[in-house]
Amino acid sequence: MVNLDLSLYRAKVLARNFRYKDAEKILEKCIAYWPEDGRPYMALGKILSKQSKLAEGFSMTLNHMLAIPLMFILLPPMYTHSTYWLWVAGFYLLAKVEEAADKPIYSWTHHIISGHSLKHLYAAMVPVFLTLVLVKKPFKLRYILIYI
Q: What is the pLDDT of residues 55-112, one digit of tens each?
A: 776 666 666 667 767 777 777 766 666 777 778 888 888 888 888 888 888 999 998 9
pLDDT tens column, 29-61: 998 888 878 788 888 888 887 787 767 766 666
Rounded Cα–Cα distance for residues 99 and 42 (Å): 15
pTM of the model: 0.50
CA atoms within 13 A on the CB side of 110: 0
Domain boundaries, the chain: 1-53, 76-148
Residue scoring higher pLDDT (125 or 99)? 125
**For residue 74, how far is the Cα from the chain centroid?**
21
Say how far apart CA 100 and CA 55 lie, in whole Å.
9
Reported as half-sphere exposure (CB side, CA atoms, 13 A), residue 107 has a value of: 3
pLDDT at 14 over 80: yes
Q: What is the pLDDT of residue 56?
A: 73
Q: 121 or 146, which is more confident?
A: 121
Cα angle, residue 89 at apex, residues 87 and 90 outer, rounded to 5°: 60
pLDDT at 58: 67
